[in-house]
Every structure is written in C-alpha cells, then in structure tokens.
Structure 1
C-alpha cells in the first residue's frame, strides 16, 4: 500500500528508570536487569506493594516532556523552520503534571494542567502545527502514533512530534495497589508461571514522525518506518481482556494488512504483557490466532519486566525500544522468568538478548475497556 512508504521515524528520545536518552534505554533492556526499587518519591505506608521503577531527580512532567520533545527534534535535525510546521500529539494522564516533593507538595510553578499542557509544550519547543491530547489509558501513545501515521499517510501533515509522559505518582499508584494489580513479590514476570502482576515505571518519550518526502527533502536520518498500524476493541469487560484475544488479534491483522506483509515476515513481538494472569494469556491467545503454530517459534518479550508499566506513555516507550532493538540487531530480555505457563505457549526471550536480522517487528498495547493497538515497525 502507498501509506507504507510515507512514514519515517527520524528522531527519538526517552527517559525511564534505566536513565536518560535512547542509549540508556537500549542498554537497560538488553541487560535485562529490572529497575524496581523502593519508592522514595511519595509515602507508600499502608500499601501492599512499595516498589516501582523510578528515576531519581526528575523535574515536573511539563519540564521533562519539553526536554524529551526538544531532544527528539534535535536528534531528527529539525531547525526552527521545520519545527514551526510540526504538529504535536501528546499522550499523558489527565491529572496534574507535577510530582510531590518527598516531604510534601511541590513548591513553585508546577506547570499547566492537561489539556493546556500540549499548547504549553508546543510553544516551548517551537512547534507551530496543530496539537492533540490523548488520555486513553495505556493505548494513549500508540493511538497518537496511529493517528499521526494516518494523517501523514494521506498528506494532511508532513511532520508530527508525538510525546508521551507518565511519572510514577501517588494517585495511580494507590489505585493499582488497591485493585491488587501490583506484583506483591516486587517483580514483573510476563508470560511466566508464577506471575503476580504489574509494577509502575517512569516513562517520558518523544518521537519525530515524518512523511518520506519531507524527510528526504532535508536529508534527515531514518531510524525506522512505521509500516502498519491497527486498532480494535473487544468490549469484553471493564478491566479484563477477552480471553480469546479477539480484539488484539484484529489490531495485529489490520497492521499487517496496512503494511502489505504476511504474518511470517514478522520476526519479533514487543508484547504488551504486563505480568498479570488474564492479560498475558489473552495476548498469547491473540498471537496464536494470527500466527497459528508459528506463534510458538516467534520471539516475544515484554520489556515492562525491566522498566515497568508507564501507563499512557507505554506505547511510545516500547515503540522506541522496538526501533532501537531492530537497529542494534538484538532482541531484549523478558526478565523475571520463572518457567513456562501452558496458557502462554510462546518463544519468550529469556536470560540473554537474542541476535536477530529481522526487518519487521510488532509492538502491542492494550488498555482497560478492551482497547487494543498494534504498530508494525520496519528497518529502513
């Protein structure tokens, strides 16, 4: 399809508990050492679980998002004129974009509230195109990428900066803890026997997406292509996914159709897998529906086991992981592995990174309410 030739990733930047910058992210996911430590950012007294993947010495979310977007634009080589025509699509939580100090509320100016944050970031980074805000839970960032790809593909926009941010804060932490979704043993174990749940993690990410002709006109680098994307809902349950994986399977199939690729072309899946019993099994079922018997031979890993679940920012953080992994020729580790689960009959990358020469990979995300997204990434 023509759309396949239109979308290029020309710049990325990421912050997580693994460090600042793309190099720190790649090194961390390949090392496979989980970044979960006791939470110091706010009081966890009375909580079941007291660990998360947080980076010390972070600023407000507004400042960190500005820094990420600016660094991604610099990495893409965008000058002031190119920035002036770029749109900004922002994925973030609908709450205050600031963090409390360790001993109480943050002092001074904590930045604007959502949705004014998008306009604030655009002005600070010199982005003069339209802005959008996405607050659709854990598919926020991947939905923003899909929308950007659609608008660029049909010629409505030449360039979109997609930014996403979540810094672990007390409100969402309390909700997940009260819902008993956090792993009581302090480890995330995607697809593994004995998995107990998810753990939250910081993620502030920005990616520059451009039309191929716009990137070529200024001699921009191409890190990867977003070759296909798909979205589907299953509306099965407010919190639990369809155990048959129907919605996620439809999203993957749509991404493959848009890319014009057969299932066998995919050589890696960066999974949504959060380490929860129902979600991981449903995702395995979805992969089985799409790939058939080959699903058991398709390398799969979830890097949430290392950097944690960044909620609204997860889709963009994991897209960057996938792009970097393909470029480096190494598939990241699925940490926390205790042993196979009969409900997840997959080829999970464990113990050490796996070399790869594949040109195509999927990165998957899912959210409460039955929302599912699939992004298909290809090397240049």
Structure 2
C-alpha cells in the first residue's frame, strides 16, 4: 500500500500526480480508469475523443471530500495515459466518416462510389479493432482484480468492456443514463455506431440479461418498436413519462424505486453525459433539451447500492472538450462521484471477515 501520511487531501491538486491530483500508481490503485479516445461515428458535434485530457486538468479542482464516501479516494483511483495510437486512428477515420455522412446525406448511392465503399469498410474494420482493444485492456485489468471504469470517447466505446464484464461476472444488467436509446441497427451504415451500442450489446453479450434505460427523450420509431418487442429484456423509462408521473404528484424516490426494481443483482452503469440537462454539458455530441440534474442521478445510483445490488463497473461517455472546459469540469465531478460509488459498492474484505474455504464434505479446504 502507498504511504499517504505526507499527502494533504485539502491542498491544491498536484499536476504531477494522477487523476484528481492523487499520488497513486496503477499497481497501488484499487480502481483503474481506461480512457478511450474514440469518436469516429459521431453524427453531430465532436470533441469527446480528447475529453480525458481536459477532464484530467479539471479533476485537479475537485475537492476530495465526498460526504457519501468521505475516504473513498484512499482506496486509490488511477487513470491511464491516453493511447495516442488509438487517438490518431480515431482522427483519421473520423475524417473518413465525415465525408461519408455528407455523401449519404445528399441521397447519393454508396455502391456507385468505390471511394465511399472503401471508407465504409475501413470505418467498420476500425471500430471492430477498437472493440477488441477495449476488451483486451479491460479484461486484463479485471483479471488483476482491479475495479475498472471506462472514460470515453463516444458511446460506442464500452462494447468490448461489456464483453469482458460478462465473461468475468456472468449475468448482469446495464443501467443506462442517456437522452438516446442507442438501439439503432448499423446507423448510417456504421455497424458499431455510437447510436447502436446497446443494440450491439444485446446481440453480442449473452450475459447481458437486462437493459434499463432512464431519461430517454430522443428516439426513432424503429427503436421504440424494438423496445416493445423485447419482452422483459429492455425496460425504458422515457423522460416524458417520468415527468408526467412527477407532474401528477409522484416523487423522484417513487420513480427510482421502480427503476431499481427492474435491475438484476449485478449492475453496470453506462452514463452518457447527454442524459443530463444540456446546461450542464452543452457541448456534448448530441444534446437534447430536458434531462436530469446531477443530484437526481446520484440519488438513483445510491438507491441501487442501498438495494443490495452489486455495482460491478461503470462507463462515462460523450463529455466533450470546450474552450472554457465547462463540460470537462462537470465531467470530472461526475467521474469522481462514480469512482466513490464503485469502491463503496464493493467493500474490501478484511482478514477478520474472510471465511476459510470449505469443501463439499464440510472440511476446511484451505
């Protein structure tokens, strides 16, 4: 364990340290954050591929005292450096995708243009590469016993993470905070579009038994029909329905109780920042009016933890860069809250509470 006797949590964040100014190495930290600098298929605003860099700087302004988890940071949070090769690949394919989106938006036929056919193939192959890279990175951390979080990038980035979680934890559910369903099929011909991540997860991660979506307020008819045909595997709490319930006298606790009741015993939180009111992150890729205050979402997360469900991991996506770094400022604080939530939801076993292994015949197997 790292010696924290000389570290002052009340001082200004040290830029020579890691995320939130904490002095942990990856080996020392209990929770490791993987930044994924990828935004190839975004269809409106850009900038999220470089969010981790601005969030890192903004995190130095975050006070380390969280009244819900006062000493959570002492368990160690560490964020890896951004992989520059992944970022360069994203930048290159993003330009290809922009040309492609512009081409199809004008009603042109892709099959008649060899360059566009080549671009589409390269984009889909690049996204497949990214999914495998994320899977390998997160699976490796999970195998080391780390708590793992992913920081995007656009919302396509955690698909490989979902696969690693399924292999590690078995059956689990996703609690998705988002303005969008992300249930489109190969949106704009991109198989692994940010608008398709939950559809792909449901298709490719057999251990994903339940998807609970909260705050959805921008979706297609096809997505709506897909939800209706999903049986019990998808439960969507649309923003309009939540507001209507509260307009008619219900409170947020009652809504949260209904949301939590839909979740299985193991839960991954997938947080697209556009699930919040866009005043909080106005530069996110596809902002939509409506949405939550941060404290509403934190309250929901705490209710999940209090229910006894195990929060196994989280991803935070679609925080964008901006000239004044406002989005990163909000993103850094959301990230800190999620880190504290994850460590508090997975208390470390102490030697006093650990029980000896017992074999089938009842004898001590240790």
TM-score (norm 1): 0.28
Is the radius of gyration larger for structure 1 or structure 2? 2
* Higher helix residue share: 2
Tell me: higher relative CO, structure 1 or 2? Use CA pairs within 8 A at least 6 residues apart: 1
* Higher strand residue share: 1
